[in-house]
Structure 1
Amino acid sequence: MDEKDSILNEEQTESDVQHDIQAGDNTEVETVEVEDIQQSDENVQSSHIEAEQQPAEDQIPAEDTVSEDDEDDIMFSDETENLLEAYDETLRDFEEGEIVKGVVIKIDRDEVMIDVGYKSEGYIPISEFGTDPDGTPRVKVGDAVDVYLLRKEDQDGLVVLSKEIADQKIVWDRIAEAHERGDSIQGRITKRIKGGLKVEIDNVKAFLPASQVELRPVQNFDKYIGKSLDMKVIKLSKRRRNIVLSRRVILEEERESKRQATLSTLEVGQVRDGIVKNITQFGAFIDLGGVDGLLHKSDMSWGRVNHPSEVVAVGDKVEVMILSVDAEASKISLGMKQKFADPWLSVETKYPIDSIVTGKVVSIVDYGAFIELEPGVEGLIHVSEMSWTRRVPHPSKVLKKGDEVQAKVLDIDPNKQKISLGLKQLQMNPWEALADRYPVGSKIIGRVRNLTDFGAFIEIEEGIDGLIHVSDLSWAKRAMNPSDVLKEGDQVEAIVLSIDPEKQRVSLGLKQIEPDPWIQVPEKYAIGSVVTGRIVNITNFGAFAKLEEGVEGLIHISELDEKHVDNPNEVVSIGDELELKVISLDPEERRIGLSLKEVKSDQERTVVNQYNDETRNDRTTLADVVGNSLKQPKDEEQEATEQDKTE
């Protein structure tokens, strides 16, 4: 290994660089390409080796050489010797391995002669000075340059110098000082490599990891190539000639400085300019200058905001109001709508009740449609307020988002920010004229539209239904199922019992078509009378018998038979025609008590009585038989006696 190789530590390998870079940054990085550095150093090395191998006379000007013939003729005086000794003393200040000042005194095609104030000059390959794009060397006679003293004297008596090593050592010293003090240093981005960017600080190569370029991940690294950036050294190894840089550290420091400066001046109520930095589902983050604030979507506008992107976009410059500041938690709430007056403060004046308003449908939900009257002011048309007569299954069947509609203001609640609107109120209410068309007591004919447990809905006309309650299906007291009497789709005749236009209700009656049979029940079904009835319903407590249309009586289980009955079905069946005895009557409650066992008892009693009556006159009693049987022998004996006497 020669002198220059020792100084430049050319034993560094690519794996060494990779190891140190990864130790300095957690992200995946690529090794700094050291081939360029090594090639440059090899060029310097070869140049110096060639310079040392050249004959001494090629490096020393001809006019400074002395021929052998003249050598014996030169005589040095004592004064000359003293001067040479003094000159030698000045040379003792030079130490190998130092950077010394020199002056360019001559430029050849391949070399530059440098006078460093030593007893002999030194030569440096012209390639170490570099060239301009047109090939002109970047050095001229008279230039003062810093050079590195490799050796005071080679075998030819020349000083061995290097400008490249001097330049690198100066730069390395400057980089090391910046690293130690934490100062920034400027470098030029030269190449995109795996894991980051290659940087040149003067003629020293360094590495900028991808994670250290910006505060946020970078998608396009090519835009940095050729740019000079301020960076900080975060990893330094002179032995391995490894330098890792960070630009993000500087940006973070600048951001923190700006953040603190901004926070110290923020006050609630201030209006500030900011840049939209990021957009989320719930709002947008605004950069106020080093510190971010949240602009929630509910604070973007007094109107409806479905997504923040409807109001702002990334990069937009916006004007916002400071709503709250939490310096410790670094939380800032911002608002845009607060710059303007709350429109709800004047809604009662602008939209009085019963007034007709115009708006746009902005949202449709299951229970209605929201109408925007102005930005920030919306009213609701409930589904029940869309039509007087139509059954609206969903608001979308009547309105579509974006429709311009007129509506009537029904109610306003500024505190809850609610306005109730009506669509049907713009038309005549057919329920108000219904009583004129169908007065109470009149007959109507309608279609059975729906059956429920409590009655049947009859469609009187399109959109208007009347209800026949289960209690108005029959005059019978017993509750019955509407499906036992009516079927969906049937055309029926009913009586209008009542109309309530406000509640939109019509009560109908089916039993009222015929007179109330219970008026004559006390006369027709007196207590003790025997009637004929048909079993129409059986319960666990007895059986109901239909005496006539609208009149039914109950045969209690205890009145079914003389013997104990557990189940009425053991005695009677649906459809049986029976003779029954009326045992109780309550016309007001429409109740008739019937008895099957009483009829059976009466029938048995009648049969016995009838039998007795029929046999009383012609039946022979035992006494008569016995008496006759006793009398006949006596008479025969007397007759015989008398006959004997006669004889």
Structure 2
Amino acid sequence: MTCWLRINESTQSTLLVNISQRRVMTEQNTIEFIKLLDQASEKYCVKPGQIIRASVVSFDGDYAVVDAGLKSEAYVKKSEFKENAEGGALAIGSEYQFMVLDVGNNYGETSLSREKAVKFIVWESLAESFKNSSIVTGRILERVKGGFTVDVKGIKAFLPGSLVDVRPLLKDDAIQENQEFEFKIVKMDHRRNNLVVSRKSVLDAQTPKVDLSQRTDIAEGKQITGVVKNITDYGVFVDLGGVDGLLHITDISWKRLKHPSDMLKIGEEITVKVLHFEKEKNRVSLGLKQLAGDPWEDISQRYPVGSKVFGIVTNITDYGAFVELEEGIEGLVHVSEMSWTNKNIHPTKAVQLGDELEVMVLEVDAGRRRISLGLKQCQTNPWQQFSDRYSKGDHLDGVIKSIADFGVFVELESGIDGLIHLNDLSWVEVGEKVINDYSKGMEIKVIILNIDVKRERISLGHKQLVNDPIAEYLSNSRFDESVEAKVIEANSSRVILELENDIKAILKSSESKSDHYELGQTVPVYLVDRKNCFLVVSTQPAKVISDSLKHSQTEQDSTAMRRQAEEEPAQPTLGDIVRDQLDKRS
């Protein structure tokens, strides 16, 4: 059903105005609604890592409930507010900056961090300071290897020892924990949490620059007077009047110094020589020892090889001792030149620091500033004394000092040992069987086989004290006639037989098949050769008789090469060469 309504003109005008006004109000509301929607969208479109502001609305145990206008409130530990850079006590309604960790996770929770936000903000400010080379303030935490750790706005930074001051500091310099200083950042890496600062850069900027071009008294080769300002392990800094020069430890004295403080003290006035001058870098290198003459000049004339001099032991190492002959001149007594009899002696067993010694000059190398000295050359040579008293063939009594695989060492006199080689212990036994008959500390009679003074060796024999039973047996034997021998050992490697007078023999290897022989079996054999304490025999007459059997020789053939090696001259030591030269001069 359709209804019609008559309206007069005035009423119609009023209605049209109202409709128009409502249309305008609706458009305005729409605009305001869109603005509010945009603002809400901005709040809900935050991302992890973003910094936002939020207010504390309540507390729940150890947590502060924070409202950032997001989908849900966040819980932040109260302990994270300890480093509150904005100051003020933690209270409801307080507003802080937070870092977004997560928004609307699976449980609909929002995760924020006050601590990470503070660190992020601090790193941003430090990056700005690094970029602008501006000064930051830090507090010394503790001394560590290579420098100090510093607290810079809650970030732990490293201060290298070389960047603490404009000059190296002594160990007792006044850099204490909890002291505050100004620094400049010289290196930073936020990702690796690495921050390096320098106090030296701040001090350099505060120190007025000195124009050394106007200093006519500072020039290479000139002498200048200054005051010792600082002492380090490697040298001394000298105040030359507005500029510091470095006097390195090697340029303080010609003699060996353990530390610069052994010669110089802070505040002492000294005269030095300018060695190097770099105007561009304002660096001055100084020398003190250069004011005196070089003691190494004409060193060969003052200390000729073979001369004997006195000196003081200034340093002892594992390989020898350093002896000061005069100020700035030291020589080395190598451990091999300390004792005639003890080759493995430690230097501290022979000399002590401060001892005055008589030494012989063995070698002078002026170019390398080295002098080789000998201590034992100024003492009587016990090996020469022994050679003067005894000769080859003399019989002596000794005591076994040690036993080795190759023989027995026998002490003949104090510090004088001789060697009985394994082959010189017995005529009829070899190997471990012979060694087992001897023990350390046992008294033994020996005969001198050879004396080598240069090599400091004495060869001894024990079996030579009695006649050679094998030689005696051979002297009474015919080589073209067989002799009876009894099998006493038979195995896959050899067959051993026993002849008269307990003489042992070995069957030729080509005939020594153990399955052909039995223990106790008597076998006719012929003499073929001699090897050490065994005779070599064969079941067939020998076509060629060895020279050792023809001449009934003893073991001299088997040890001839060893005897020759013992008598060959050894490689002479430096001390031997010097001694020979002195003998020729006399």
1:529 to 461, 464, 482: 482
Measure the CA separation in 2 of the matches of 1:539 and 1:346: 76
Report how far residue 377 of structure 1 moved. 0.8
Report how far residue 450 of structure 1 moved. 1.4
Per-residue deviation, residues 176-225 of structure 1 (Å, max 9, x unmatched) = xxxxxxxxxxxxxxxxxxxxxxxxxxxxxxxxxxxxxx9789959xxxxx
Match of 2:417 in 1: 465
Match of 2:536 in 1: 593
Report how far residue 423 of structure 1 moved. 3.0
Measure the CA separation in 2 of the matches of 1:349 and 1:549: 71
Match of 1:420 in 2: 372
Letter in 2 for 1:296: H
1:384 to 336, 359, 368: 336
**Matched residue SS, 1:269:** coil
Rg bigger for which structure? 1
**Matched residue SS, 1:257:** coil
Decide whether the 8 Å contact of 2:322 with 2:332 is kept in 1. yes
Q: Is it true that 1:499 corresponds to 2:451 in the alignment?
A: yes
Q: Is it true that 1:256 corresponds to 2:209 in the alignment?
A: yes
Match of 2:66 in 1: none
Letter in 2 for 1:26: V
Measure the CA separation in 2 of the matches of 1:364 and 1:579: 71
Measure the CA separation in 1 of the matches of 2:362 and 2:220: 39
Q: TM-score, normalised by structure 2?
A: 0.52
Match of 2:37 in 1: none
Report how far residue 362 of structure 1 moved. 0.6
1:511 to 455, 463, 469: 463
Report how far residue 305 of structure 1 moved. 0.8
Match of 1:361 in 2: 313
Q: Is it true that 1:339 corresponds to 2:291 in the alignment?
A: yes
Measure the CA separation in 2 of the matches of 1:481 and 1:328: 83
Measure the CA separation in 2 of the matches of 1:551 and 1:320: 88
Letter in 1 for 2:528: L
Decide whether the 8 Å contact of 1:580 with 1:594 is kept in 2. no
Q: Is it true that 1:455 corresponds to 2:398 in the alignment?
A: no
Report how far residue 326 of structure 1 moved. 4.2
Measure the CA separation in 2 of the matches of 1:307 and 1:356: 31
Measure the CA separation in 2 of the matches of 1:549 and 1:412: 65
Match of 1:400 in 2: 352
Q: Indicate the larger mover: 406-415 or 363-372.
A: 406-415
Match of 1:27 in 2: 137
Identity of aligned residues (%): 38
Decide whether the 8 Å contact of 1:579 with 1:596 is kept in 2. no
493 and 577 in structure 1: CA distance in 2 versus 1, 3 angstrom threshold:
farther
> What does 1:61-460 align with in structure 2 at a 5 Å threshold?
252=205, 255-259=208-212, 261-262=214-215, 266-328=218-280, 331-389=283-341, 393-460=345-412
Measure the CA separation in 2 of the matches of 1:579 and 1:329: 102
Report how far residue 341 of structure 1 moved. 1.7
Query: What CA RMSD, in Å, does the superposition of the two structures yield over aligned residues?
Result: 4.3
456 and 429 in structure 1: CA distance in 2 versus 1, 3 angstrom threshold:
same
Report how far residue 457 of structure 1 moved. 1.2
Per-residue deviation, residues 464-522 of structure 1 (Å, max 9, x unmatched) = 11111223223469666762443222211111011122222211112211233443426
Q: Is it true that 1:582 corresponds to 2:522 in the alignment?
A: no
Match of 1:181 in 2: none
Decide whether the 8 Å contact of 1:457 with 1:465 is kept in 2. yes
Letter in 2 for 1:256: K
Match of 2:553 in 1: none
Decide whether the 8 Å contact of 2:526 with 2:539 is kept in 1. no
Measure the CA separation in 2 of the matches of 1:543 and 1:286: 89
Report how far residue 461 of structure 1 moved. 0.7
Per-residue deviation, residues 144-197 of structure 1 (Å, max 9, x unmatched) = xxxxxxxxxxxxxxxxxxxxxxxxxxxxxxxxxxxxxxxxxxxxxxxxxxxxxx
**Matched residue SS, 1:304:** coil
Measure the CA separation in 1 of the matches of 2:278 and 2:502: 81
Decide whether the 8 Å contact of 2:493 with 2:512 is kept in 1. no
1:490 to 425, 442, 450: 442
Letter in 1 for 2:536: G
Letter in 1 for 2:529: D
Letter in 1 for 2:136: N
291 and 472 in structure 1: CA distance in 2 versus 1, 3 angstrom threshold:
farther
Measure the CA separation in 2 of the matches of 1:303 and 1:384: 25
* Structure 1 unmatched ranges of 5 or more: 1-14, 16-22, 30-213, 221-247, 565-570, 599-647
* Structure 2 unmatched ranges of 5 or more: 1-86, 88-128, 140-164, 176-200, 542-586
557 and 502 in structure 1: CA distance in 2 versus 1, 3 angstrom threshold:
closer
476 and 287 in structure 1: CA distance in 2 versus 1, 3 angstrom threshold:
farther
Report how far residue 397 of structure 1 moved. 1.7
266 and 546 in structure 1: CA distance in 2 versus 1, 3 angstrom threshold:
farther
Q: Indicate the larger mover: 321-330 or 248-257.
A: 248-257
Per-residue deviation, residues 53-107 of structure 1 (Å, max 9, x unmatched) = xxxxxxxxxxxxxxxxxxxxxxxxxxxxxxxxxxxxxxxxxxxxxxxxxxxxxxx
Decide whether the 8 Å contact of 2:419 with 2:458 is kept in 1. yes
Comparing both structures, which one devotes a greater share of its residues to helix?
A: 1
Decide whether the 8 Å contact of 2:430 with 2:533 is kept in 1. no
* Residue-pair matches, total: 360
Report how far residue 284 of structure 1 moved. 2.6
Report how far residue 396 of structure 1 moved. 1.2
459 and 293 in structure 1: CA distance in 2 versus 1, 3 angstrom threshold:
same
Per-residue deviation, residues 292-322 of structure 1 (Å, max 9, x unmatched) = 4432222221111112221223333333223
Q: TM-score, normalised by structure 1?
A: 0.47
Per-residue deviation, residues 605-643 of structure 1 (Å, max 9, x unmatched) = xxxxxxxxxxxxxxxxxxxxxxxxxxxxxxxxxxxxxxx
Per-residue deviation, residues 437-477 of structure 1 (Å, max 9, x unmatched) = 22110111111111223222110111111111223223469
Report how far residue 27 of structure 1 moved. 1.9
